[in-house]
């Protein structure tokens, strides 16, 4: 079983739409959780950390459900510039490495 | 305030040659990580280093691959006797404590011909 599993998409949504990505992880001892964004042929960039209490950054909301080992990312009022691949990232129980999902592709259409 | 610097950006090697990839972490970061991204695949952990120490190399292939992070100078990922299957994007990241999230460099795209 993969450490992190994501729906690869692609998600094609119109501007202004709300879109949600989900991710599950296998290691119940993981302590840190993140969403990264990767544009084509570029490096991944940290979008936001994910906490059990949920956290919001502008149009982006992340949630963590430890009991279900499930992480989500909600993007409201999608912009063209949101088009990218979104990577779910979970730490190992030692914290020495992060496990990356294969990413969910989003295209926002005018 | 430079971020994580990787060079070269692109590297072409013939089968059997050696590839050396360099990574300078962000100023003040002492933790360096190397990841590999194959086409159409996710990033895979290779190795985690601190200055002069390899902390976790569980993702490194047992042969031909080595990494170092000397007291002075950049971290180096070295691939000896490259094969076509080594063609990939190699990303370096650095951080403060390991659970604060990484900052990635722009990557080195290695092509073995």
For A71, half-sphere exposure in the C-beta direction (CA atoms, 13 angstrom radius) is 32
B43 → closest Cβ in A44, A46, A94: A44
Residues from chain A contacting residue B48 (CB–CB below 8 Å): 96-97
- The model's confidence at residue A33, banded by pLDDT at 50, 70 and 90, is very high
A43 → closest Cβ in B59, B91, B98: B91
**Contact indicator for A100, A2 with CB cutoff of 8 Å:** no
**Residues facing B92 on adjacent strands:** B34
Which H helix or E strand runs over A89?
Answer: strand A84-91
- Across B8-38, b (16+ Cβ under 10 Å) vs e yields eeebebeeeeebebbbbbbeebebbbbbbbe
**Cα gap A98→B24, rounded to integer Å:** 20
Segment 48-107 of chain A within 8 Å of chain B by CB: 49, 87, 89, 91, 94-103
**Cα gap A53→A63, rounded to integer Å:** 7
**Residues facing A1 on adjacent strands:** none
| A88: nearest Cα among B8, B24, B68, B101 | B101
Total residues found in chain A within this entry: 110
Q: What is the pLDDT of residue B101?
A: 73
Decide which of B39 and A12 is more confident: A12
Summarised one tens digit per residue, pLDDT across range B49-74 is 998 899 999 999 999 999 999 998 99
Is the pLDDT at A31 greater than 90, yes or no?
Answer: no
Is the CB of B55 less than 8 angstroms away from the CB of A43?
Answer: no
Integer-rounded Cα radius of gyration of chain B: 13
Largest CA distance in chain A: 44
**Which percentage of chain A shows pLDDT scores above 90?**
75
- The model's confidence at residue A53, banded by pLDDT at 50, 70 and 90, is confident
Q: What is the pLDDT of residue B1?
A: 54
């Amino acid at each position: 079983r993969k450490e992190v599993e994501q729906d690869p998409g692609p998600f094609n949504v119109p501007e202004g739409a709300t879109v949600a990505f989900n991710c599950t992880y296998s290691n119940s001892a993981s302590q840190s959780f993140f969403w990264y964004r990767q544009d084509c042929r570029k490096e991944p960039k940290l979008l936001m950390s994910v906490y059990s209490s949920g956290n919001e950054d502008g149009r982006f909301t992340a949630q963590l459900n430890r009991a279900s080992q499930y992480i989500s990312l909600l993007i409201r009022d999608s912009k063209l510039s949101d088009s990218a691949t979104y990577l779910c990232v979970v730490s190992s129980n030692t914290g020495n490495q992060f496990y990356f999902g294969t990413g969910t592709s989003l295209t926002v259409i005018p | 305030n430079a971020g994580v610097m990787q060079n070269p950006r692109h590297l072409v090697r013939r089968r059997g040659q050696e590839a050396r990839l360099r990574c300078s972490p962000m100023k003040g970061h002492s933790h360096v990580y190397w990841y590999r991204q194959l086409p159409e695949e996710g990033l895979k952990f290779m190795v985690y280093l601190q200055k002069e120490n390899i902390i976790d190399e569980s993702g490194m292939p047992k042969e031909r691959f080595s990494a170092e992070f000397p007291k002075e100078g950049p971290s180096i990922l070295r691939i000896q006797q490259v094969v076509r299957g080594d063609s990939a994007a190699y990303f370096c990241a650095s951080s403060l404590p390991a659970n604060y999230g990484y900052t990635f460099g722009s990557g080195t795209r290695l092509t073995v011909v």
